[in-house]
Amino acid sequence: MNRKQFFLSIILASVIGGLVAIAGVSFLSPSNKTSSFEEKQNTSFVNWLKDDKFNVPDGINFVASADQVLPAVVHIKSAVTMQSNRGGGNPFEEFFEFRNPNGGQSQPREGMSSGSGVIISKDGYVVTNNHVIEDAKDINITLYDNTNYEAKLIGTDPTTDLALLKIEASDLPFVPFGDSDKAQVGEWVLAVGNPFNLTSTVTAGIISAKARNIGILRNENNNLQIESFIQTDAVVNRGNSGGALVNLAGELIGINTAIASQTGAFSGYAFAVPSSIVKKVMDDLLEYGTVQRGLLGISIQDVNIAKEFLDKDIAVNQGVYVADVNEDSGADEAGLEPGDIIIAVDGKTTNNVSQLQELVARKRPGDEVKVKYLRDGKEKEVEATLKNLSGTTKVVKKAEVSTNEFESVTFKDLEIGLQERLNIDGGVIIEDIDNEKWEKAGAREGFVITHIGRDKVGDSKNLKRTLQANKGEEIMILGIYPNGQKSYFEITLDK
């Protein structure tokens, strides 16, 4: 083969090779005409996330946790008495701030409160927020499978905004308690509840901060409120209250309680009572019917506040400043003094008031705590015995609430918590009315009787004696609704 033939053969081979390549591409390439969007997407996008070599790490897979928790989060509805006002004009009403239910305002009406709850035992105990069931006459719980139960109120603790309910059921799914102390800022969490009556809703976020105090329980119960919230950016809205905040192991690390919002809707942050407090409060309510609050007996402030407002010369930037020590308190007996700076309790750091309150709130009267503090720049440690509000180490028993009946109307002693919230001493609540005359006069279930005429009402026995002494007489009954609206009505008693 001469040189000319050699070059011609190379050129011919190139041409044939090109034609074969073009034909192959045309044959193997999909048609530009597709019959579905799936085909359109498949021809232009390769999803590397579906490759067998790419796996979502188990630690950030929300499916297993949600699947475990959802059946144990319930929907709570409670019936409450609501009072709406309209213009009056009665001088008696204006001066004494009482309203006659038969004039000057609309009749009290039944309203509904809605929220969430978490089953914490297979025999039907449910934790929720106190504000979800506060002043409720009837509490209804709907399970994940739409089964309905009437719930019994076991106890409440307004200082932590928690309540314990019980339904008569067995073998229920429940959420196990996790350790909120081990929860870390940046950790993934799920919020499970019933926002806007949308049952069984799961949202995800991270823990944004811990030991937050946002002042929502201020002025409740003699300033014994405990606010040491877990802050999260998981979406929480109205109706989520009382629902679960869980880690990705499906463990309960908090009870969703509040949101930071100027509109009433979620705008970035939500707050949950940590499980360390929830578990202790639930144990107390189960065993004693009331919370056993152990107290050091000191007035405290964050160090930075003491520096700014008390003009104190303090060398450290974190800690809890002791402003005052109550006489004969556990702190007093242990030797703590005003000006000390508490930096740890039982080996756990207390950078602020919220952390200190949370650690002490886990204890009961009679328990001992190790308190590490600074005095004159020197670190010291003492052991203090916590006491109750009465200054003893005895267990506080739940006050017995008695009921009495008169003219087919049932009256019940007013619990201490409601007395404190309404700022009254004593009082009797109307629990049930089976008398048309009383209803026509303006009596309503849930109304708190404080006076019969000028005579103060202490308890249901005292009220019954007063009513019996006025048989056949027309009397004026004065009181207040749980929402704070004062009212009165007049009635003539049977002879």
Cβ contacts of residue 130 below 8 Å, gap of 6+?
A: 156, 157, 158, 160, 161, 162, 163
Q: Which of 153-167, 214-228, 340-354 has the lowest mean pLDDT?
A: 214-228
239 has binding-site annotation: yes
Residue 217 tokens, joined = 């329980």
Predicted TM-score of the model (pTM): 0.75
Ordered DSSP codes for 41-55: HHHH---GGGSTT--
Which residue in 65, 75, 116, 131 is the catalytic one?
A: 131
**Taking Cα atoms as reference points, which of 167, 131, 136, 164 lies closest to residue 151?**
167
Domains 57-290 and 298-385 share a fold: no
As a whole number of angstroms, the distance between CA 40 and CA 252 comes to 45
451 is catalytic: no
CATH fold, domain 403-492, is Pdz3 Domain (2.30.42)
State residue 218's pLDDT score. Answer: 57
131 has binding-site annotation: yes
Three-class DSSP category at 44 = helix
What confidence tens digit (pLDDT) does each residue in 315-336 have? 889 999 999 999 999 999 999 9
241 is catalytic: yes
Q: Which ranges of 126-180 would DSSP assign to H, the alpha helix? A: 130-133
Distance of alpha carbon 241 from the chain centroid: 6
- In sign, the C-alpha dihedral spanning 437, 440, 445, 447 is negative
Residue 355 tokens, joined = 């952390």
Asked if pLDDT for residue 5 goes beyond 60, the answer is: no
Cβ contacts of residue 91 below 8 Å, gap of 6+?
A: none
What confidence tens digit (pLDDT) does each residue in 236-288 have? 988 899 999 999 989 999 999 988 766 666 667 899 999 999 999 999 999 99
As a whole number of angstroms, the distance between CA 415 and CA 426 comes to 9
As a whole number of angstroms, the distance between CA 296 and CA 277 comes to 17
Residue 79's DSSP bridge partners are 112, 138
Which residue in 241, 276, 460, 487 is the catalytic one?
A: 241
Task: Tell me how crowded residue 469 is: count the other CB atoms within 10 A of its CB.
Answer: 11
- ∠ CA(438), CA(442), CA(444), 5° rounding? 80
- Cα 336 to Cα 285, 314, 324: the distances in Å are 31, 17, 9
- Domain 298-385 in CATH 1.10.40.50? The answer is no
Spans of all domains in the chain: 3-44, 57-290, 298-385, 403-492
Single-letter code of the amino acid located at 19: L
State residue 8's pLDDT score. Answer: 56
DSSP H or E run through 11: helix 3-28
Give me the torsion for CA of 226, 422, 164, 108, rounded to 10°: -140
240 has binding-site annotation: yes
Which residue in 75, 113, 116, 161 is the catalytic one?
A: 161
- Domain 57-290 in CATH 2.40.10.120? The answer is yes
88 has binding-site annotation: no
Decide if 176 contacts 166 (C-beta within 8 A): no
75 is catalytic: no
Decide if 433 contacts 439 (C-beta within 8 A): yes
Ordered DSSP codes for 88-110: ---HHHHHH--B-TTSSBPPPEE
What confidence tens digit (pLDDT) does each residue in 370-379 have? 999 999 889 9
